[in-house]
Amino acid sequence: MNDHLQTMTPAVRRVGAIVAGVGALLCGAIAAAFVLMLLPGYDKRPELVTVALVVAIFGTLALYCSCLTWRLATSRGAANGITVMPPWTIQVFGAFLACGGVAAAFAHKSIPLGIDTLAIAGAMLLVGRNIAARQRRRLRTSTDSETGRAP
């Protein structure tokens, strides 16, 4: 079984930082474009609620991608020593994904979409348990090596 919480090489970190940086720029540009649509002189002005929702979503994604870019570029990880971002951010975005996936599945009447989205969101919501189990194994292995016992 492939371990999805494995250590990243410097090359992978650089590529990840570039991809996350491009994502931050694109999300920021989308949010800015919707704000600019509110200026006078724009012919097809969207409703304020639509603009607020789009700016909130893409602004949050831009902020998250910016933080991820900075952490990858500076080789800083979360305090748990395993993930790049703190687990609570992964879990919050997992909750957003679950809500959005269920809404999209109902809107498109697509059960496979709902199942796939909930599977990914479930993994994101449970990432804290996986990290805790890994930390327990690491602690148990280091304790066993200090006492001279086989793990």
Q: What pLDDT score was predicted for residue 150?
A: 56
Q: What pLDDT score was predicted for residue 83?
A: 77
Does this model's pTM top 0.85?
no
Q: How far apart are CA 5 and CA 17, in angstroms?
A: 17
Hey, where are the domains in the chain? 1-76, 82-151
Q: What pLDDT score was predicted for residue 136?
A: 83
Q: What pLDDT score was predicted for residue 145?
A: 64
Residues 6+ apart with CB under 8 A from 94: 120, 121, 122, 123, 124, 125, 127
Q: What pLDDT score was predicted for residue 12?
A: 86
Q: What pLDDT score was predicted for residue 148?
A: 59
Residues 6+ apart with CB under 8 A from 83: 5, 77, 90, 127, 131
Q: What pLDDT score was predicted for residue 1?
A: 38
For every one of its 151 residues, what pLDDT tens digit does the chain have, with 9 covering 90 and above?
Answer: 345 556 778 888 899 999 999 999 999 999 999 999 888 887 888 888 888 989 998 999 999 999 989 988 988 777 777 778 888 888 998 999 999 999 999 999 999 998 999 999 999 999 888 888 887 887 787 776 666 565 5
Name the CA dihedral angle for 109, 113, 114, 116, rounded to a multiple of 10 degrees.
Answer: 170
Q: What pLDDT score was predicted for residue 149?
A: 61
